[in-house]
Amino acid sequence: MEIFTKENLPYPQKLVMVFAIIITVFLATGFSAGLSLAATRSDSTKTSGILAESLEAQAENLTVTLLGVTSYELTEIFNDIIETTPGVINARRCQLHLDPDHPEAGRVEWQLTFSDTTPFALESAIYNRLKEIADSDVTTYLTNGFTINLTDSERTTLKAIRPGQSTSRTLCFIEMNIFADSSSPKWHYNRLRISNNWLNFPNRGFE
């Protein structure tokens, strides 16, 4: 009986053996790389999760209110300003009441999550952007993928929005033309009576 060794194997069998070795090495290498990639992805996921948890832990909440506006288009512009203000992580509009017949009852409210800034710095940034848009006499505004065409009345309203009284948990913006009544020494909005000299209050916010 003839005994075959690796030296005297026929050529076809040697070829098969070589291919078998190559395939085995390739599979082993691929499996090892797969384990390494999975470990890397796992570490990356853990790191991202830790960073997200850290940001969430540092984030603070704030309520922003817009009073006296009756135009949905203006609320969209205001919403866009809020969402793009540095420091704002998330902005959710949670209340919308527009009543053209009773503009003093108009109220829009947002719940904000923010980080690495302060409520009064946010108020200043929002108002500065608002003034920038109003002072440019904008007639069109692009937001959320569509163009808003503003009327003369809406542009006038945009220019009349000012910061109201604010706290560390709430910011308030008011359409001053709606609540300014020359025959009355008071500002009225949402059943609250605000003294006409509110601009002199230390916690009125920034302008």
Q: What is the pLDDT of residues 78-112, one digit of tens each?
A: 999 999 999 999 999 999 999 999 999 999 999 99
Burial of 150 (0-12, 13-18, 19+ CB in 10 A): buried
Q: What is the pLDDT of residue 23?
A: 64
Joined together, the tokens standing for residue 205 give 């916010």
**CA–CA gap between residue 77 and residue 70 (Å, rounded):** 13
Q: What is the pLDDT of residue 146?
A: 84
Q: Each residue of 19-41: b (16+ CB within 10 Å) or e?
A: eeeeeeeeeeeeeeeeeeeeeee
- Break the chain into its structural domains and give their ranges: 11-58, 60-200
Q: What is the pLDDT of residues 6-28, one digit of tens each?
A: 555 555 555 556 556 666 655 55
pLDDT of 129 > 50? The answer is yes
Please state which of the ranges 65-69, 95-99, 143-147, 202-206 shows the lowest mean pLDDT. 202-206
Q: What is the pLDDT of residues 159-205, one digit of tens each?
A: 999 999 889 899 999 999 988 754 434 444 443 433 334 344 333 44
Q: What is the pLDDT of residue 143?
A: 84
Question: Which whole number is the average pLDDT over 145-149?
Answer: 88
Q: What is the pLDDT of residue 199?
A: 41
How much is the pTM?
Answer: 0.62
Q: What is the pLDDT of residue 118?
A: 94
Q: What is the pLDDT of residue 183?
A: 42
pLDDT of 45 > 80? The answer is no
Q: What is the pLDDT of residue 54?
A: 53
Question: Which whole number is the average pLDDT over 55-75?
Answer: 87
Contact at 8 Å (CB) between 27 and 35?
no
Q: What is the pLDDT of residue 207?
A: 34
Question: Which whole number is the average pLDDT over 35-41?
Answer: 56
